[in-house]
Amino acid sequence: MKRYAVLIILLCLGCLSQAQTKKEKQVADAVERLRKAMVDADSIALSSLVSPALSYGHSGGHIDDQHEFVTKITSGKSDFVTIDLTAQTISVSKKTAIVRHNLNATTNDGGKPGTVKLHVMLVWQKLHGKWVLLARQAIKLT
């Protein structure tokens, strides 16, 4: 009987360690809203989810500010048809969060179909009570 009690306690502890904190859940929700806004090319949602001080690093080395990032997405110059995020981790320290994930997407940049596979690091900051994207850097997956 003691073995079963110990097993149940260990299983419960394992479940607790896997659970997202409230802040991690808020950040995960912000990441999902950003993913959806990028696919939908929603300028209002994009502008509200990214910091005015945004530093958005592409895998090719170019860095966009907030205006350039939103303009590229909404103009179709950078057109995400689908975005699938996998292997996501979230680490929160006070008002800063680091998110890492793999991004697999189908694109139609400037009318040219393509695919992209990236490993991405996002830095989120809690600003005026909401999480906004402060920085992003991506590298190509092989």
pLDDT value at 60 more than 50: yes
What is the pTM (predicted TM-score) of this model? 0.84
Contact between 52 and 68 (Cβ < 8 Å)? no
> How many residues does this entry show for the chain?
142
Task: Tell me what pLDDT residue 15 has.
Answer: 46
Q: Tokens 């590229």 — which residue?
A: 72
Angle at 61 between CA 58 and CA 63, to 5 degrees: 60
**pLDDT per residue as tens digits for the range 25-51:** 999 999 999 999 999 999 999 999 999
Angle at 41 between CA 82 and CA 62, to 5 degrees: 85
Angle at 99 between CA 138 and CA 26, to 5 degrees: 140
The count of other CB atoms within 10 Å of the CB of residue 58 is 16
Structure tokens at 108: 């139609």
Mean pLDDT is lowest, of 13-17, 57-61, 91-95, for 13-17
**pLDDT per residue as tens digits for the range 66-98:** 999 999 999 999 999 999 999 999 999 999 999
Of 33, 136, 28, 5, give the one whose Cα is nearest residue 88: 28
Task: Tell me what pLDDT residue 95 has.
Answer: 96
Percent of the chain beyond pLDDT 90? 83
